[in-house]
Amino acid sequence: MKALLLSVIAVLTLAISPLSLAQASAQSSGGSEPLNVGMSGRYFPFTFVEKDQLKGFEVDVMNAIAEELGREVNYHTAAFSGLFGMLESGRVDTVANQITITEDRQKKYVFTQPYVYDGAQVVTKKGNDEVSNVEDLKGKTVAVNLGSNFEALLRDLPYADQIDIRTYESNLEQDTALGRVDAFVMDRISASQIIKEKPLPLELAGPTFSTIRNAYPFPDTEEGRALRDDVDAAIDALREKGTLKKISESWFGTDITRP
Amino acid sequence: MQVLDITYMLELVPILLQYLPLTLEMATLGMVLALVLAGLLAVVRVLKIPVINHFTILFISFFRGTPLLVQLFLFYYGLPQIFSSLTAIDGITATVMGLTMHFSAYMAESIRAAIVGVDRSQTEAALSIGMTNAQLMRRIVLPQATRIAVPTLMNYFIDMIKATSLAFTLGVTELMGATQKEAAGSFLYFEAFIVAAVMYWIVVELLSWLQRFLEIRLNRAYSR
């Protein structure tokens, strides 16, 4: 019995020590005021992980912005459905996850200028000739990311009631490739990139059907607006220096940071 | 037919293994705290301590009656909107708190059943030879209740280990969160998730082994 108790205590101390260490280090770094940025880490090629390394267009752009501001960045990765909660509860300063400016979001947040211009794109399994544009989605099942603006875009279509919209937390590309849904809707840039570089049998179906402008959201508070203005100025500076264009071309081969 | 990318899977093992300790830490800490809380809740329920008993019933009803994910979101994203100081709670702490409260509600009932399950005649016998209530609990009831409760409590611990996979919604990258991110970068879903599955499976298998050992140890007095 005594041995059992001792082992429980040992396990407990082991369990607590890394936790308290993590907390202590989080507190001690508070002096330099790093920028806290939320992202999903699951949106290739904007934010993704390869061999434990956080990478992507969003990471490169945010690093450049932070350098411009002379601040450190702390990245907080969470499931997409948790990201706005983190912003809302003040755990992150902004979200860098291709957040599209929408009317609803503008009621709650203040946005910087757009740093990515893109379009909504229908993607199908390779060889699916039934869907070649957005009108063909009538009577079909379509996957979108939960809480994304693509869900709202689909629901705003005049024939939305004829579309079976399925919301996904992740892996909708895989479900489309498996044939469980007829199509998914995403931004054109990442869809093209996935098709080009990844082993899933997918293809773009027709032209983009809506223009989207992506920017950084900040809480609509005095502090949030001040930080928004700083980041906005940093984006201006990076545009002027050609840094944005350079980062975009390194990931996509074209400049997506201009309309 | 696509062939499994074995090289990728082997590369993934050491990467994902780094996240296993955090998964186990959250589950172990949650389990220890849940045991303490569940023990207190069970005692309140068994002794029917006035007033507190009603709070206990409400507590158990709420935490058994709502999904863990809802509770985690409520603590982590909901409450700080009302009490801004709660923003200081990090994702790991919030997960451990959530696991503790959620599972203690279940465990309290299973501990209560185990205590009640010890035959009443033993209590009467112990009291008749002049044992105090504390002695009765410590020497007669609890050792036997422990034996009855171990299999179900172990089940909850196993469940808790797997429940930590929800922590990624609170921004904690544990084993499942790390796997999801790797899969999102490589699009090799089958490979990534099978590596994670095998890791959880091995951990649970080791625990089942520990459970068998504990059961044999605690049954020693009964099997001859």
CA distance to partner chain A, nearest, from residue B107 (Å): 18
pLDDT band for position B1 (50/70/90)? very low
Instruction: Look at residue B134 and tell me whether its pLDDT is greater than 60.
Output: yes
Q: Over the stretch B89-101, which tens digit does the pLDDT of each residue have?
A: 899 999 999 999 9
pLDDT at residue A6 is higher than 60: no
Interchain contact, B81 vs A89, CB within 8 Å:
yes
Average pLDDT over residues B34-52: 92
Does A109 or B119 have the greater pLDDT score?
A: A109
Q: How far is A15 from chain B (nearest CA, A)?
A: 5
Residue B120 buriedness (CB in 10 A; 0-12 / 13-18 / 19+): exposed
Q: What integer pLDDT is reported at residue A3 of this predicted model?
A: 55
| More reliable by pLDDT, A4 or B209 | B209
pLDDT band at A28 (very low <50, low <70, confident <90, very high): very low
What is the pLDDT at residue A13?
A: 52
pLDDT band at A23 (very low <50, low <70, confident <90, very high): very low
Quick one: what percent of chain B has pLDDT higher than 90? 69
**Best mean pLDDT range from A144-153, A164-173, B23-32, B131-140:** B23-32
Percent residues over pLDDT 90 in chain A? 68
Residue B190, number of CB atoms within 10 A of its CB? 13
Q: What is the pLDDT of residue B56?
A: 96
| Angle subtended at Cα A26 by Cα A226 and Cα A10, rounded to the nearest 5 degrees | 160
Average pLDDT over residues A99-118: 94
Angle at the Cα of B80 from the Cα atoms of B76 and B84, rounded to 5 degrees: 145
| pLDDT tens, residue by residue, B53-110 | 999 999 999 999 999 999 999 989 888 878 878 888 899 999 999 999 999 999 999 9
- Indicate whether A29 pLDDT > 50: no
Cβ separation of B32 and A8 shorter than 8 Å?
yes
* Interface with A, mutate which of B169, B174, B206, B214 (most A CBs under 10 A): B169
pLDDT(A10) > 90: no
Residue B6 has pLDDT above 80, yes or no: yes
3-state secondary structure chain A: CHHHHHHHHHHHHHHHHHHHHHHHHHHHHHHHCCEEEEECCEECCCEEEECCEEECHHHHHHHHHHHHHCCCEEEEECCHHHHHHHHHCCCCCEECCCCECCHHHHHHEEECCCCEEEEEEEEEECCCCCCCCHHHHCCCEEEEECCCHHHHHHHCCCCHHHCEEEEECCCHHHHHHCCCCCEEEEEHHHHHHHHHHCCCCEEEECCCCCEEEECCEEECCHHHHHHHHHHHHHHHHHHHHCHHHHHHHHHHCCCCCCC
pLDDT attached to residue A26: 44
Q: How large is the ipTM?
A: 0.76
Q: Which residue of B has its CA nearest to A77?
A: B171
Confidence of residue A143 (pLDDT cuts 50, 70, 90): very high
Is the pLDDT at A218 greater than 70? The verdict is yes
Residues of chain B neighbouring A51 (CB-CB closer than 8 A): 11, 15, 182
> Which residues from B are below 8 Å from A when comparing CB atoms?
2, 11, 15, 18, 21-22, 24-25, 28-29, 32, 73, 76-77, 80-81, 84, 87, 90-93, 96, 168-173, 177-178, 180-189
pLDDT at A139: 93
Contact present, B184 and A42 (Cβ < 8 Å): yes
Q: What is the pLDDT of residues A45-88, one digit of tens each?
A: 999 999 999 999 999 999 999 999 999 999 999 988 889 999 98
- With cut-offs at 50, 70 and 90, classify the pLDDT of residue B143: confident
**ω before A45 within 30° of 0 (cis)?**
yes
Which pTM value belongs to this model? Answer: 0.79
